[in-house]
Structure formats: C-alpha cells, structure tokens
Structure 1
C-alpha cells in the first residue's frame, strides 16, 4: 500500500475511534509500532488534532474537531458546493460558526485556475438574497449543538408578554425570510412551540433535564397536529392580484378556486381557532385584494385592526 493511501485510511480509522493505542493500530494495519508512531507524528504535523493521554490505560485521542479525509469532487460538484455555501452569505448569523466561510474559501482556493475564473464571472450574477435580520450566532450554535447531541436548552425568551425562562428540547432549525426558527418542545407549556431565534436572549445546554424520547423522534417534517383543538373554517374572496399573491402560499394554495375573470376564492381552510389571529394578520397584508367572508370572529378581528389603523390616521 502506498504511504499516502495508508495515511488516508489511518485518518478514517482514527475518526471512527474515540481513543486508541499505537499497538492497536499496528496490529490492525499489520505494521510495526515504530511505523505507526511516525505516521501519527506526520498526521499531527499535517493538522490532524491528535493528543496523547498520560497514565495507566493511556494512548491517544482526537480532539473534538476532527479532520476528515480528502474527498474528490468533479468540477461541476465543486461549483455546486461553492454556490451552496454562498447561499448563506446574506444571513447575518449562522449556526455553523466560521465553518461555512472556511469551507467556501477552501473550495475556491483549491479549484483549478480556469474553474476559479468561471466562478469569478458568476459572482454578483447569481445571488441567493435573504433579508438581513440581526440575531445571536452563539444562540444558533447552542441550538444546533443541542439537536446534534440531544440536549435540553434553557433559554431566556422575549415575547409580547415579556421575558421568561423556558426549558426547551429543540426539534430542528429552519430559515425563512431571513429569520431562523426553532420548533421545540416547551417543558413549561408541555407542548411543541415555535421559537424565533432573534427573540432568544440567551441559551445554554441543560443536562439536568432528560430529553423526551418521543420528541427526539420528531423532525421538521412532523408538523404539530391541532385536530384535537376547536376548529373553524376560513373563507376568502380574492381579486385577480389576490389570487396571484396566494397561489404560491402553501397555507392557502390547496384551497384556492379560480374564476374565469381571474378572480377567485379560498374556501374552507380548516384551522385551529387559536390560530385565527395569525391568519388574519396574513390576510391583512393583502390589503384590498382579499375579503374575509367567514367566520364572524375573523371579520371582527379584521374590523378591529382597521379601526386601530384609522385612529392612527384620523
């Protein structure tokens, strides 16, 4: 086996082991302890974070930030990865620390010169724009770590009613319109709630509270069911522009009916009564292009918003 191949296999083996001794590796690879010791020294000089453990039962360990073996990419794959990383450029904060920027630099630096020239021609011509939202990178990284190691997080959360301490078990992280959201089980409310990351003032892992196994099995694809709550049916009348605005909205599109003149309606959107105000806020953004036909509670809520706005502009 070539030395380069042996070093790559050695990296892969070390990544799979929490701790190891020179003798264990020597027996596994069929080499002398002297050769393995030289290989480990060479890997250390190349940046593989190996450190020795002193005392009885000692040996070697890898630091938490392990080094992955080389991966071969085609030019097309490398360009795709470069722009995949660039999609994150416009977020004010990321849960990956400096990892995305570092990976982007490595991809660009090690590409052939002609491929770098192609990417340079595409810079500022392909953009994945996202509105700038200010939020804490430390909070995002703590939430991401909690998801990876299955840990509860204690947070200070700012809501309309003030700041409160919550113990949550994060299910996932997703970004929308520049914001990061964290669906999580809230031990205070004893239910799955959605937390906006920019409203989390602080976050710390909390190992004193055990994770719930049923929550650990949840993913972002498992939307909380509200069938057991009081339900109501939302109905809208839409102008042509209203149809155009809602046809790409997943909350309304399945219930959209179009008329021959381009106008339309949204019929019988089943929603939990407790979410009514949320939906009215969405419809408010459509202005004169959407009219609520029912239920009466939604119409009353919209009238109240109109009255409040009228008071601002007497």
Structure 2
C-alpha cells in the first residue's frame, strides 16, 4: 500500500474510533508501532488534531471534530455542490453556524484555476432567492442539536395569544418563504404543533423531560392530519386571474377545477379550526376570488371587508 493511501485509511480509522492506541493501529494495518507513530506525527503536521492521552493505558484521540478523508469530484459534481452551498447565502440565519461558509470557502479554494474561472462566470447569474427574514441563528442551532441528539427544548414562544413558556420535542426544521419552521410535539398542548423559529424568543435543551419514543420516530414526511377534528367544506369561485394567483399555493392548487374560460372552482375539506387561515388566503385575491361556503367563512370575509371599509371611512369624516 502506498503511503498516501495508508494515510487516507488511517484518517478513516481514527475518525471511527473515540480513542485508540498505536499498538491497535499497528496490528490493524500490519505495520510496526514506529511506522504508525511516524504516520500520526505526519497527520498532525498536516492539521489533523490528534493528541495523546496521558495516564494508565494511554493512547490517542481526536481533539476536535472528526475530519473526512479526501473525496474526488467530477467538474459537474463540483459545480453542483458549489451552487448547492450558495443557495444558503440568502438566508439571514442558518442552523449550521459558520459551517456552510467555511465549507464553501475550503471547497472553492482547492478547485483548479480553470474551474474557478467557470464558476466565477456564473456568480450572480444563478441565484436561489429567499426573502430575508431576521431570526436567531443560536435558536436554530439549538433546535437542530435537539433533533440530532434526541432532546426536549424549553422555549419562550410569542404567538397571537401572547408569550408562553413551553417544552417541545422537535421533529424537524424546514424553510418556506425565508422563514424557518419547526414541527414539534408540545408537552403543554399534548399534540404536535407548528412553531415559527423567528417567534421563539429563547431556546435551551431540557434534560429533565424524556423524549417520547413515538415522536422520535417521526420525520417531516409524517404530516399530522386533522381528520379527528370537526370538518367543514370550503367552496371557492375564482376568475382566471384568481386561478393563476392560487395555482402555486400548495393548500389550494390540487383542488382547483378549471373552466373553459380559465376561471375555476375548488371544494376543499378542511378542519373547522383552520377556516380563518384559508379565508385570509382568499382575502389576498381581492375581487379575483369568492368564498361560496361555508356560511362561517362568508361571514368572516364580510367582517374583514367591513373592518377595512370602516378603517378608510374614518379618513373622510
């Protein structure tokens, strides 16, 4: 085995071991302890943070985070990975700390000059836009850490009802329209709830409450259903422009039935408690959409219209 190959395999071995001795590695590689000691010294000089353990038994371990061995990429893979990392540039906060920026800098630094030049030509010509939303990176990191190690998080949460203290078991993190969301089991409500990360005022790991095994097995693909709650049928009518405005909305688009003139209708079974959410969506259409039913939805829309009219009516009194 060539020395370069041996050093790569050595990195992989010590990454997989919490601690190790020179004798263990020597037996594993079929080499002398002197050769292994020399290899470890060379890895240390190359930046691999290996340090010796003093005391009975002795040995070595990694000082910091484990390092990955060198990986070869094709040009296409390199370009794809570079711009995949760059998609994160437009987020105000990330749950990865400085890891994304650091990884992108290292990756770009070691690319061949001609490939750098090709990537430079694409900069600011390929963008993955995300609206800027201010939020705490530390809170996102706490939520991600809780997901990785299986912990409950004590949070202070600001909702329309005020500020409350809660203990939650995060299921995952996802981003939509620049916001980060965290579906989690809420121990106060005894149910899965959706939390917007920018509304979490503080977050700390709470080891006093054990995680629920049934929640630990869930992922973002396990969308909670509300079939057990009271249901209602939301009926909509839309102009052709209204259809165009809603065809990208995942809550309504699958249910749109288009007419020959481009207008459309939709009938959606929803939980009654979500009716105001859907009415607020239709409100954004202005005169391009109309709620036909249920009566509670029509009444809520009329209430919104009256409130808006009274707001502007006072301007002219």
Fold shared per TM-score above 0.5: yes
C-alpha distance in 2 between matches for 1:199 and 1:64: 33
The DSSP-based 3-state class of the residue aligned with 2:90 is coil
- In structure 2, the residue matched to 1:280 is 279
- In structure 2, the residue matched to 1:302 is 301
C-alpha distance in 2 between matches for 1:236 and 1:202: 40
What pairs with 1:50-129 in structure 2 (closer than 5 Å)? 50-129=50-129
C-alpha distance in 2 between matches for 1:258 and 1:246: 12
C-alpha distance in 2 between matches for 1:161 and 1:58: 58
C-alpha distance in 1 between matches for 2:54 and 2:162: 51
- In structure 1, the residue matched to 2:14 is 14
The DSSP-based 3-state class of the residue aligned with 2:211 is coil
**Aligned pair in 2 of structure 1 residues 277, 144: CA closer, same or farther (>3 Å)?**
same
The answer to which of 17-26 and 44-53 deviates more is: 44-53
- In structure 2, the residue matched to 1:231 is 231
C-alpha distance in 1 between matches for 2:158 and 2:5: 53
C-alpha distance in 1 between matches for 2:118 and 2:132: 28
- In structure 2, the residue matched to 1:41 is 41
C-alpha distance in 1 between matches for 2:56 and 2:295: 76
- In structure 2, the residue matched to 1:266 is 266
Q: What's the Cα RMSD here?
A: 1.2
The DSSP-based 3-state class of the residue aligned with 1:61 is strand
What pairs with 1:147-186 in structure 2 (closer than 5 Å)? 147-186=147-186
C-alpha distance in 2 between matches for 1:99 and 1:141: 11
C-alpha distance in 1 between matches for 2:149 and 2:157: 22
The DSSP-based 3-state class of the residue aligned with 2:141 is helix
C-alpha distance in 1 between matches for 2:78 and 2:106: 11
The DSSP-based 3-state class of the residue aligned with 1:313 is helix
Q: Cα offset for 1:311?
A: 2.2
C-alpha distance in 1 between matches for 2:211 and 2:22: 38
The DSSP-based 3-state class of the residue aligned with 1:48 is coil
Q: Cα offset for 1:64?
A: 4.7
C-alpha distance in 2 between matches for 1:23 and 1:163: 58
C-alpha distance in 2 between matches for 1:58 and 1:229: 61
After superposition, what is the alpha-carbon deviation per residue over 1:269-288, rounded to whole angstroms, capped at 9, x for unaligned? 11111111111111111111
C-alpha distance in 2 between matches for 1:48 and 1:207: 33
C-alpha distance in 1 between matches for 2:181 and 2:32: 53
Q: Cα offset for 1:115?
A: 1.2
After superposition, what is the alpha-carbon deviation per residue over 1:130-166, rounded to whole angstroms, capped at 9, x for unaligned? 1100000001111111111111111111111222111
TM-score w.r.t. structure 1 length? 0.97
Q: Cα offset for 1:251?
A: 1.4
- In structure 1, the residue matched to 2:310 is 311
The DSSP-based 3-state class of the residue aligned with 1:257 is strand
Gaps of 5+ in 2: none
The DSSP-based 3-state class of the residue aligned with 1:185 is strand
After superposition, what is the alpha-carbon deviation per residue over 1:74-121, rounded to whole angstroms, capped at 9, x for unaligned? 011000000001111000001111111111112211111111111111
